Amino acid sequence: MSLSFEAAVRSRGFDVELAVEAGETVAILGPNGAGKSTLLTLIAGLLTPDTGSAQLGERVLFDVPSTGRGRWLPPHRRGVSLLAQDALLFPHLSVLDNVAFGPRSTGMPRAAALARAATWLERVDASHLGARRPAQLSGGQAQRIAVARALASEPALLLLDEPLAALDVSVAPAVRRMLRDVLADRTAIIVTHDVLDAFTLADRVVILEAGRVVDAGATRQVLDRPATPFAAGLASLNLITGTAEREGVRSSAGDLIGVRFERAVAAGARAGAAVRPARVSVWAHEPHALAAAQNVLSGVVTDLEPRGDIVRVRSAELAADVTPGAVAELDLVPGSPVWFSFAADDTVAYAL
Amino acid sequence: MSSRRSSPYAGVPGWVVAVAIVGASFVVLPLVAMITRVNWGEFIPLITSESSVDALWLSLRTSLAATALCVVLGVPMAIVLARTEFWGQKILRSLVLLPLVLPPVVGGIALLYTFGRRGLLGQSFEAFGVTIAFSTTAVVLAQTFVALPFLVLSLEGALRTVGTRYEAVGATLGARPTTVLRRITLPLVLPALISGAVLSFARALGEFGATLTFAGSLQGVTRTLPLEIYLQRETDPDAAVALSLVLVVVAVIVVAIAHQAGERNGVGFGRRRDS
């Protein structure tokens, strides 16, 4: 079932409009405090908006006009399941009874509810855990069962609030794969910090910042052509914003950046230029005699971040991936003045 | 050298331990003193005399009835206090817990002016031919009045500790509020409910001042064990001491049960991380 949603919560500076097609999975990305969890609690009915309306299929979830009395459906009548970061399995019920809780609560006879619970446990590869108590499960097992429990109530919409964030890195991939299977053709919204979740699980991403939608679109489109520094950071891209000119992009700082235009952008229009840190070189002195199509920008090192066999050198504007040997050779420390160079051909520009 | 069990360094000053020993003696010594005065030869006849058995039986009956009333009234009170927000809630909580600090005799007088013949509600009851004051019902009401805060207090604390996260999950799974209460909230706070009920029972069993003021002291009708002990003390000190010992034993059992339930409280709510 499709969801249409728009709501404002003044005290949290939240004002978001969102639509999810039937069978579509949308990932919500955004920095801490952007309003991602507020969005989910509003849809689930655990929070009432100041104004707004939402409809899931034919069902009106809430309709709160700015004046006068509105309508508001309590959580248990919405057909919306919420899966949180913690599995939150009921500690006093067995795993099977946990999964059967939803069907039982909506009036299904006990035997039928248990049969459906058993089917869902099988779907998440947890049939052998049915008799256990939640305290006897590992984090990965508990989250699998929480997924089964959420789906056993046959929700019209499934909400997932960072479902993999509390899991050990060794078990997260298996749970992610399981989620990918159960989310196929299901209407769902997943809040995540992890760009891998967005690529694996979502058809579309919506980026929230400070309670507003700042970017939305197909996952690859949004993350390869980021419009905001946050999206660029998620995708590990350098983003330079400015205005398009005939020869390139004039950055906000006034530098003319040579770029490869993906599509023609009208001169004077706002444009972004993205370049991978791996394609950026670092110099201790201003480089000369470079090919003409090289951009050269100066900066001051703010941070050196070891990442496996490379080191990410950051300045306020740019990041570059270099080898540890190069860091030693250039004698880089935070505060070092440096020059960055990158080819116009590696710099993709697009309209914002 | 004496062998010592290994335990983490606590750093408790010696003088604190000394004062603690004095304090513990202050509680234990009077009990020991009382036990030394028990007339063991006459013990069984003393506690099985007609008036003693009447008092003991009445005490148990009324205390159990009061405990049931505490659960029926106290569980909704605790839920409303812990789960809702409304204007004047803090004041209401203070008022509800007032019997904890109020002298019981004051409670008895207050009850008398509510349910007595000329009381606020008593007049209406009287019109239907129902007299509450100085009846066994009055004993139960007096005991409920003083014991209710114990149940409300312990249950409200447990409800706040458990939090609303499980309840929210239950609601999003399609459970109505009543289903959530029955299948999630109450099972989660069951240990606190049991220990709160046991404490209420103990408080009801020991009730004296409010009972005497509001219910009087009629053998077999309103004369509970504490009242019987107080009266016997004048005429038959041996009987008073023997009955006191019975109450001490009941109190010890009650504390043990409450402690057991308290130990279970909180266990099983934690979720083990990946192992």
* Domain locations in chain B as residue ranges: 43-264
The CATH number of residue A338's host domain is 2.40.50.100
A77 and A213 in one domain?
yes
Q: Which of A173, A200, A224 is the last residue of a domain?
A: A224
Chain-chain contact of A140 with B273 (C-beta, under 8 angstroms): no
Q: What pTM did the predictor assign?
A: 0.80
Radius of gyration of chain A (CA): 24
| For residue B271, pLDDT beyond 80 | no
| For residue B272, pLDDT beyond 80 | no
Chain-chain contact of A101 with B175 (C-beta, under 8 angstroms): yes
Which residues touch B62 (CB under 8 Å, ≥6 apart)?
A: B136, B139, B140, B143, B204, B224
Q: What DSSP character marks residue A166?
A: T
Question: ∠ CA A107-A113-A114 to the nearest 5 degrees?
Answer: 150
The fraction of chain B above a pLDDT of 90, given in percent, is: 60
Q: Could you report the per-residue pLDDT of B190-205, keeping only the tens digit for each?
A: 999 998 999 899 999 9
A172 and A72 in one domain?
yes
| For residue B273, pLDDT beyond 50 | no
Is there a domain that residue A217 lies in? Answer: yes
Q: Which of A196, A224, A252 is the last residue of a domain?
A: A224
Region of B163 (left: φ > 0; alpha: ψ -120 to 50; beta: rest) is: left
Judging contacts by C-beta atoms under 8 Å, the chain B residues touching residue A134 are 271
Range of the domain at A201: 3-224
Q: Could you report the per-residue pLDDT of A14-34, keeping only the tens digit for each?
A: 999 999 999 999 999 988 888
Q: Span A172-187, mean pLDDT?
A: 88
pLDDT higher at B8 or B182: B182
Q: Are strands A260-261 and A256-258 parallel, antiparallel or unpaired?
A: unpaired
Domain count for chain A: 2
Q: How far apart are CA A345 and CA A261, in angstroms?
A: 9
Chain-chain contact of A76 with B271 (C-beta, under 8 angstroms): no
Q: Residue A5's pLDDT band (boundaries 50, 70, 90)?
A: very high
Q: Which residue has the tokens 């009395």?
A: A69
Q: How far apart are CA B183 and CA B177, in angstroms?
A: 10
A294 and A169 in one domain?
no
Give the one of B169, B171, B183 whose C-beta lies nearest to A88's C-beta: B169
Is there a domain that residue A231 lies in? Answer: no
The CATH number of residue A138's host domain is 3.40.50.300
Q: Could you report the per-residue pLDDT of B71-122, keeping only the tens digit for each?
A: 999 999 999 999 999 998 999 999 988 998 899 999 999 999 999 888 888 8
Is there a domain that residue A69 lies in? Answer: yes
Long-range contacts of B26-31, Cβ-Cβ distance < 8 Å, separation of 24 or more: B31/B248
The complex scores an ipTM of 0.80
Is there a domain that residue A230 lies in? Answer: no
A107 and A156 in one domain?
yes
pLDDT higher at A139 or A289: A139
Q: Span A293-301, mean pLDDT?
A: 88
| For residue A258, pLDDT beyond 90 | no
> Best of A80, A82, A101 to disrupt the B interface by mutation (most B CBs within 10 Å)?
A101
| For residue B210, pLDDT beyond 50 | yes
- Tell whether A149 lies on the interface with B, counting CB pairs under 8 A: yes
Q: Span B238-243, mean pLDDT?
A: 91
Q: How far apart are CA A35 and CA A41, in angstroms?
A: 10
- Tell whether A140 lies on the interface with B, counting CB pairs under 8 A: yes
Q: How far apart are CA B159 and CA B83, in angstroms?
A: 8
Q: Which of A191, A224, A257 is the last residue of a domain?
A: A224
> Best of A43, A90, A144 to disrupt the B interface by mutation (most B CBs within 10 Å)?
A90
| For residue B265, pLDDT beyond 70 | no
| For residue B8, pLDDT beyond 60 | yes
Is there a domain that residue A229 lies in? Answer: no
| For residue A198, pLDDT beyond 50 | yes
Judging contacts by C-beta atoms under 8 Å, the chain B residues touching residue A166 are 273
Number of Cβ within a 10 Å radius of residue B72? 10
Is there a domain that residue A332 lies in? Answer: yes
Are the CB atoms for B70 and B203 separated by under 8 Å?
no
Q: How far apart are CA A91 and CA B189, in angstroms?
A: 11
User: Which CATH code is given to the segment(s) B43-264?
Assistant: 1.10.3720.10
Predicted pLDDT at B275 = 33
Is there a domain that residue A18 lies in? Answer: yes
Is there a domain that residue A256 lies in? Answer: yes
Predicted pLDDT at B274 = 36
Are the CB atoms for B231 and B217 separated by under 8 Å?
yes
Q: Which residue has the tokens 């309709």?
A: A63
A259 and A131 in one domain?
no
Q: How far apart are CA A316 and CA A310, in angstroms?
A: 19
